[in-house]
Amino acid sequence: MQELLTLLDKDLIYDGHEIIDGTFVITAHSGNPVCKCRYCGKESASVHSVYRRSVQDLPIQGHTTTLVLTARKMFCKNPQCGHKTFSETFSFLDRNAKKTDRLKEQILNVALETSSVAAADTLKREAIQASKSTVCLLLKKIAPPVDN
Ligand SMILES: [Zn+2]
């Protein structure tokens, strides 16, 4: 399981897993002692608090897979920075995303070959939870801007 997580991010450390109602739930955290402030870019090792963040990842052996990350809220010690605290970010996730980048890619691969309704059905068979509106939203994000 550690190897699977390393593929996602070399700093991720496996904490455990269980299958809950058919969903593969993996808990993990970053082993990197420092986090970079997203406002000023300065690194900090000073932890304010921790919280859980759940995101969907690629299915494992036909099970919908949820990654439960123990994420840190850090103090920014840079006196020039306008922010006292910031949340840890992960290389494989957008800031407020509920799905990993590689899962979004997989959803788009299916969606680009078919309609969003058919894509949602196909994804469901592959144990990927993505509604028709999620598929549309992802498609919109990659669509080239329309010239007026
Ligand atoms: Zn900062």
**Collapsing DSSP states into helix, strand and coil, what is residue 101?**
helix
Q: What is the pLDDT of residue 148?
A: 57
Helix, strand, coil content of the chain in percent (nearest 5): 25, 35, 40
Number of domain units in the chain: 2
Stated pTM of the model: 0.87
CA distance 39 to 83: 7
Nearest Cα to 52, choosing from 37, 67, 33, 36?
A: 67
Does residue 97 register a pLDDT over 80?
yes
Q: Compute, in angstroms, the gap from residue 143 CA to the centroid of ligand 1.
A: 33
Residue 148 included in any domain: no
Both tokens of 30, joined, read: 């970053």
Considering the domain architecture, whether residues 21 and 63 belong to the same structural domain is answered as yes
Q: What is the pLDDT of residue 115?
A: 84
* pLDDT (tens digit per residue) in 33-87: 999 999 999 999 999 999 999 999 999 999 999 999 999 999 999 999 999 999 9
Contact yes or no for 127/62 (Cβ under 8 A) = yes
Ion ligand 1 residue ranges (Cβ < 5 Å): 37, 39-40, 76, 78, 81
Considering the domain architecture, whether residues 47 and 118 belong to the same structural domain is answered as no
How is 62-81 classified by DSSP, letter by letter? TEEEEEEEEEEEEE---TTS
133 lies in which domain range?
100-142
Q: Compute, in angstroms, the gap from residue 40 CA to the centroid of ligand 1.
A: 4
Q: Compute, in angstroms, the gap from residue 102 CA to the centroid of ligand 1.
A: 28
Q: Compute, in angstroms, the gap from residue 55 CA to the centroid of ligand 1.
A: 25
Percentage of residues in the chain with pLDDT exceeding 70? 97
